[in-house]
Amino acid sequence: MKVSVCIVGFRNLADIESCIEALERTDWPSFEVVVCENGGPESYRQLLKVLPSQLPGGQAVRIIQAPSNVGYAGGVNLCMDQTPDADAWWILNPDTVPNSDALSKMCRRLEGDGCAMVGCTVYHPNGVVESRGGRWIPWLARAVSIDHGAPITNPTSEDMGATVVSYVSGASLLVGRALVQKVGRMREDYFLYGEEVEWCLRARAYGARLVVARDAEVLHRQGTTTGSIKDAGGRSRLAVFLDERNKLLITRDRFPALVPISAMGALAMLLLRFARRGAWAQTGYALSGWWSGIIGRRGKPAWVS
């Protein structure tokens, strides 16, 4: 299986360097890397200076510049355009450090389990699980990550091949060619956040099977470019706005009959998350995003460069 590793960056050279260094140690030989820089020509030139054109194992590293800041899905799709002959695409966040055997374990699941998408165990630097896939609660417009907060040393009691997952983490997602040809690629009108959830839900609507290779582990230094940090009062305007807006866009696109219920559920959750904690700036960002989702506004916010 020939895999194309798709990495989308935004002025975070150090993250991308670290991710590429980790890929040098991977034990799956048949892959290439495409890095799409969303952060403009200066960041693109820096990548060209620093990143190798080839890994020690002979795998090619291709660096491309987006015509503008096209968002995460737009960057992923540009990477996929560069490798149309790939058997599978590994969507990998730039702020991740995959274990050396992560790709091989994911590929074996994709090849042998009759599935269309494969996720993995994504974990934080403090050794706790961020996600082993997740479930989408339509009436709350909320994603719930499986095993979130559990020590990575504690194996899940669930068979992640048999467990019904609504989505797998977009921080590390392996998707096969057949599914892409059937359901299409990521939606670019989300810009950031939630695009992988919608993609997975769309795939499931077509009858695709999603699994999580829980023994494949990928470290995620979350939010190095968007401010997606754990503290509610420290989250950026971009992260809060798009997170709230895109929850409702997912509902519009996948569960349209539930929009009135989901809108109220999402409103209650954002007030509990931000207003109850006195994070008033974030409450304002969240309400603005919520309203944009209500009226169906899409794409890059006008205030984002």
Instruction: Note whether 25 and 150 are same-domain residues.
Output: yes
Instruction: Note whether 68 and 204 are same-domain residues.
Output: yes
pTM of the model: 0.93
DSSP-assigned beta bridge partners for residue 120: 213
Give per-residue pLDDT as tens, 4-26. Answer: 999 999 999 999 999 999 999 99
Phi-psi region of 26 (alpha: psi -120 to 50; beta: other; left: phi over 0): beta
Domain C-terminal end among 185, 220, 255? 220
Instruction: Read off the tokens for 254.
Output: 């996948």
Instruction: Note whether 32 and 121 are same-domain residues.
Output: yes
Q: Confidence band (pLDDT; 50, 70, 90) for 194?
A: very high
Question: Helix, strand, or coil here: 105?
Answer: helix
Angle between helices 195-205 and 237-254 (to 10 degrees): 10
Give, in order, the Cα–Cα distances in Å from 252 to each of 28, 138, 144, 202, 258. 39, 10, 19, 12, 8
Range of the domain at 270: 232-294
Instruction: Tell me what pLDDT residue 112 has.
Output: 82
Instruction: Read off the tokens for 198.
Output: 């919608």
Give per-residue pLDDT as tens, 196-254. Answer: 999 999 999 999 999 999 999 999 997 555 544 556 778 999 999 999 999 999 999 99
- Please give the mean pLDDT across all residues of the chain: 93
Instruction: Note whether 83 and 23 are same-domain residues.
Output: yes
Which spans in 146-235 are helix H? 177-183, 195-205
How many domains are contained in the chain? 2
Give per-residue pLDDT as tens, 131-153. Answer: 999 999 999 999 999 999 999 98
Domain C-terminal end among 157, 188, 220? 220
Would you say residue 225 lies in a domain? no
Instruction: Read off the tokens for 123.
Output: 């974990």
d(CA 237, CA 242): 8
Q: Confidence band (pLDDT; 50, 70, 90) for 115?
A: confident
Give, in order, the Cα–Cα distances in Å from 269 to each of 10, 140, 240, 262. 30, 8, 13, 10
DSSP-assigned beta bridge partners for residue 62: 34
Instruction: Tell me what pLDDT residue 182 has.
Output: 95
Give per-residue pLDDT as tens, 85-98. Answer: 999 999 999 999 99
Would you say residue 283 lies in a domain? yes
Stronger pLDDT, 65 or 228, i.e. the higher one = 65
Instruction: Tell me what pLDDT residue 139 has.
Output: 92
Instruction: Tell me what pLDDT residue 114 has.
Output: 78
